[in-house]
Chains A and B, each alone.
Chain A
């Protein structure tokens, strides 16, 4: 059986919305940085011109290696540069790039459609990345397509999209819960960093089964149960924040 690089589900109809979780102003600042996030205007020093210049990057580092302590981004992050690029029809080709059609849907210029160029690799610090503006987050489907192409360009091996999605669905679900947690705790006055740490501590608690909730997210059977528990825990924490005298560990 031959396996080709995959295309977005509705690519044949010229529909690429399913690639993205959010673009432009839709991007939620509380979402943890994840593989496939696009940053605009990241400041990079250019020795050739002896000047700082803003560049656009896409994060290609695998979700499991983005953070050493689970909360703060690792010091150095692997990114690839984004350039304007016409839409491609055949996703099985053009393996040295990740197409980003309609990355800037509001534009009518050539910058509307872009691509992440795998040959233009950079290592940036977390601080540099933060100097840019996050302008897009890929969806689970988009992230799986990115990982498939990234694996191929580095190894010439094609792994089926289904298997890649199975691998990253757990970390993806964790990012969704963290985003929700940070949104909810922001109304209690907590910073995103504090909330993310609180969420991670809760996810990493070892349960009576010997597993953590983070482990459970790898299995689609248990994901919904972890989300339900997260909502219950958030209610408990928020009740404690609004009425400190009633706070107690349950």
Chain B
């Protein structure tokens, strides 16, 4: 880190000085400006690294918090966890997708069928994620929040993020630490092209919904 004293340079100095003031040699001014730029640039690098470190630390603590909540939830029976998720308004097919099993498997669990430890942990993790998102980030209707696309330019929803294993991105989206474009670009740089549509859903004069080309 540079340790030279910073020389204060006034506007008049930069203009070449005024009558009665002593002139600062141009070489000194150049040297001072270079020192100043170097010092501020260094501070900026430190700030950027600190921000990145804090971001990563925050993400880690968030995952730890999620794991602790999951550990609490995993004590419940699978049927209880399924009931609690359904009470939030999730469909069985969305629950099945997020825990990586088939809908018939979920139906068997609801009817008391046996689950593996891994299945129960996955259900507990989903329930814990919902609790964290609603309690920590004050999202009231959490199932609805999960079901709505994160950007008008893409069909990707928080359900898709969770199902594809993008849990950190999900929490960052819930917390407002990342915007939709940033998240979509991270998971698929071609999301704009893939999400573009030439047709739209509309309500016809007969009251039924249909599809038509975009005008």
Contacts and interface: CB of A to CB of B under 8 A. Distances in A.
A140 B93 contact: yes
Among A176, A220, A227, max chain B CB count under 10 A is at: A227
A90 interface: no
A228 B157 CA distance: 20
A67 B140 CA distance: 36
A28 B104 CA distance: 8
A17 B208 CA distance: 32
Contact of B198 (A1, A21, A164, A173): A1
A176 B89 contact: no
Contacts of A227: 86, 89-91, 143
A180 to B, nearest CB: 7
Interface in B173-215: 193, 195-201, 208-211
Contacts of A170: 209
B147 to A, nearest CB: 5
B135 interface: no
Which of A17, A163, A165 has the most C-beta atoms of chain B within 10 angstroms of its own C-beta? Answer: A163
A224 B147 contact: yes
B211 A224 contact: no
Q: Label chain B's interface by main secondary structure.
A: mixed
Nearest to B143: A224
B7 interface: no
Contact of A225 (B89, B198, B199): B89
Interface in B85-100: 86-93
Contacts of B103: 21-22
B103 to A, nearest CB: 6
A224 B144 contact: yes
Nearest to A31: B103
Nearest to A166: B201
Interface in A1-50: 1, 3, 17, 21-22, 26, 28
Contacts of A222: 144
Nearest to B111: A183
A236 interface: no
A173 B199 contact: no
Contacts of B155: 162, 165-166
Given A163-B200, A221-B147, 13 more contacts: A21-B103, A64-B208, A159-B199, A160-B197, A160-B199, A163-B201, A166-B155, A176-B92, A220-B147, A222-B144, A227-B91, A228-B88, A228-B89
Rank and list the top 4 A-B pairs by shortest CB-CB distance, nearest first.
A224-B89, A224-B143, A26-B104, A162-B155
Interface of B: 86-93, 102-104, 107, 141, 143-144, 146-149, 155, 157, 193, 195-201, 208-211
Interface of A: 1, 3, 17, 21-22, 26, 28, 64, 139-140, 159-160, 162-167, 170, 173, 176, 180, 218, 220-225, 227-228, 231
24 contacts: A22-B103, A28-B107, A139-B93, A159-B199, A160-B196, A160-B197, A163-B200, A163-B201, A164-B211, A167-B201, A170-B209, A173-B91, A176-B93, A220-B147, A220-B148, A221-B144, A221-B148, A223-B147, A224-B88, A224-B141, A224-B147, A227-B91, A228-B87, A228-B143
